[in-house]
Amino acid sequence: MTNSPQTATAVACANIAFIKYWGQSDSGLTLPTNGSISLNLDGCLTETTVRCDPELERDQVWLALHGGEEMRASGRPYERVMAQINRLRTLAGSTMPVEVRSRNNFPSDAGIASSAAAFAALTRAAVEAFQLEVDERELSRLTRLSGSGSACRSIPAGFVEWYNDGTHQGSYAEQIAPSSHWALVDIVAVVNTQAKHVSSTHGHDLAPTSAYFPARLSEVPARLAEVRRAISERDLERLGVAAEADAMSMHVVAMTAQPPTMYWQPATLSVMQAVQRWRAQDNLHSYWTIDAGPNVHVICEAKDAPEVEARLCELSAVQWTIANGPGHEARLVG
């Protein structure tokens, strides 16, 4: 690469997994123990600028989280960003200092995949700034190496599967249906924005300590097939039943790990049960899923989204909602 300043800005979406990533077979390579399927969320975005500049005195990372003021990152957030920058800088044969500026528009560390959006945008922008030439598949592999494995699913657009055969080459994300395929809506019912007490990273480490982890892993292949078929046929019930069962299974593994980890809060249960009640009593077709945090994602078709969102907002457990359609790929905007 040249030694002249290079700047690139990328925007990436968070994503919600219908089949979850939980547990790693190789934490160094961020290889998951199972494949997963997700949808990009067009309302939960991170925008990241990477500037390589020989004039910079040293590497700098600036974060503006959830509309807050921009702050200089230090400690673990700084280290996680710089580890990924160093990986790509080495690959590009560059030694230029970098400045990273990143902002997101939704709560961080609360189970809304903020690190997925963040590391997808970071990797997309850095690859451009370092003038690396990679295809989408390789970009998703590089994104995965950031340690936020699910970030690789935010690289392609729309409905995405993260394949996994236990190798670096075979563990990448690919679109299985474009954004336009199905007007699905994911409404995040935000019940708490405090950072969770056990990080996803630590949760992955604990997964194998659960006696229930092997049973989860044996169930996943059939559920992946269910979800692929549901997406292909735009069958919400098939998708929703599988997604609820998979989310339950992931939380079961967390709750039975040693030590047990409970990501749910009372408000989480309120939302889950409200969704099930609306479905049973009012024939309102929506389904819940929950990542490693207390907030609930409610999935429905676009035609039902106004009703579902209005009802969620009426629940005392819900602070606010974020409605998302199918999102775009991690893309350059400058």
Any contact of residue 218 with a second copy (CB under 8 A)?
yes
In the complex, the smallest distance separating the C-beta of residue 213 from a second copy, rounded to whole angstroms, is 9
Phi, psi dihedral angles at 23 (to 5 degrees)? 105, 145
What are the residue ranges of helices labelled H in 74-158?
A: 75-92, 114-129, 136-144
Taking residues 149 to 168 in sequence order and writing x for each that binds a second copy by CB under 8 A, - otherwise, the string is --------------------
Q: Which is nearer to a second copy, 199 or 265 (CB)?
A: 265
- Shortest reach from residue 195's CB to a second copy, in Å: 17
Stretch that binds a second copy, among 6-14, 27-35, 47-55, 216-224 (CB under 8 A): 216-224
Q: Which residue in the set 56, 91, 248, 284 belongs to the binding site for a second copy (CB under 8 A)? A: 248
**CB atoms < 10 A from the CB of 59, how many?**
16
Q: Which residues of 187-217 are buried (b: 16+ CB within 10 A; e: fewer)?
A: bbbbbbbeebebebbebbebbbebeebeebb
34 in contact with a second copy (CB under 8 A): no
Pick the piece of the chain touching a second copy (CB under 8 A) from 59-67, 136-144, 171-179, 242-250.
242-250
Q: Kindly state the smallest distance separating residue 76's Cβ from a second copy, in Å.
A: 23
Q: How far apart are CA 151 and CA 12, in angstroms?
A: 9
Beta bridge partners of 10: 48, 332
Q: For the segment 267-296, give every residue that binds a second copy (CB under 8 A).
A: 267-270, 272-273
Give the span between the Cα atoms of 314 and 50, in whole angstroms. Answer: 41
Q: Is 319 in the site for a second copy (CB under 8 A)?
A: no
| Given 214, 221, 306, 334, the residue binding a second copy (CB under 8 A) | 214
Triad 212, 215, 221: Cα angle to 5°: 140
Query: Nearest to residue 184, comparing CAs of 303, 61, 314, 21?
Result: 303
Instruction: Decide if 85 contacts 8 (C-beta within 8 A).
Output: no
Q: Which residues contact 169 (CB under 8 A, 6 or more apart)?
A: 141
- Interface with a second copy in residues 83-142 (CB under 8 A): none
In the set 99, 255, 319, 328, which binds a second copy (CB under 8 A)?
255
Contact residue for a second copy among 62, 78, 163, 212 (CB under 8 A): 212
Shortest Cβ distance from residue 172 to a second copy (Å)?
Answer: 28
Minimum Å gap between C-beta 252 and a second copy is 5
The answer to whether 126 and 50 are in contact (CB under 8 A) is: yes
Q: DSSP readout, 119-137?
A: HHHHHHHHHHHTT----HH
The verdict on 198 binding a second copy (CB under 8 A) reads no
C-alpha distance from residue 133 to each of 1, 61, 88, 137, 172 (Å)? 11, 24, 11, 12, 17
Select the span of 167-175, 179-187, 249-257, 320-328 touching a second copy (CB under 8 A). Answer: 249-257
Q: Report if residue 304 touches a second copy, rule: CB under 8 A.
A: no
Residues that bind a second copy (CB under 8 A): 211-212, 214-216, 218-219, 244-245, 248-249, 252, 255-256, 260, 262, 264-270, 272-273, 317
